[in-house]
């Protein structure tokens, strides 16, 4: 039963992240990559860190609005 509950909880977190993704990316304010160019590993890690921080802020915004 706890496995089902854990799997449900994980799916709920994924749905929450996906629903907040547009707000998260807007808060992050990251520029798109130039056409034909790619980010290197360090740039991708820096962008991932920015998105993680923006996600926390996006969640706080939604929680404040709901209150």
- Which residues, at least 6 apart from 31, have a Cβ–Cβ distance to it below 8 Å? none
- Distance in angstroms (rounded) separating the CA atoms of residues 1 and 38: 44
Distances (CA, A) of 27 to 6, 19, 24: 29, 14, 5
Query: What digits encode the pLDDT tens for the residues 6-63?
Result: 889 999 999 999 999 999 999 999 999 899 999 999 999 999 999 999 999 999 999 9
The boundaries of the domain holding residue 44 are: 2-66
**pTM for this one?**
0.82
- Cβ atoms within 10 Å of 28's Cβ, excluding its own: 17
């Amino acid at each position: 039963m706890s496995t089902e509950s854990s799997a449900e909880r994980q799916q709920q977190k994924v749905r929450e992240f996906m629903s907040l993704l547009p707000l998260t990316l807007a808060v992050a304010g990251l520029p798109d990559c130039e056409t034909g160019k790619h980010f290197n590993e360090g740039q991708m890690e820096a962008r991932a860190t920015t998105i993680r921080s923006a996600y926390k802020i996006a969640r706080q915004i939604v929680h404040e609005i709901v209150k």
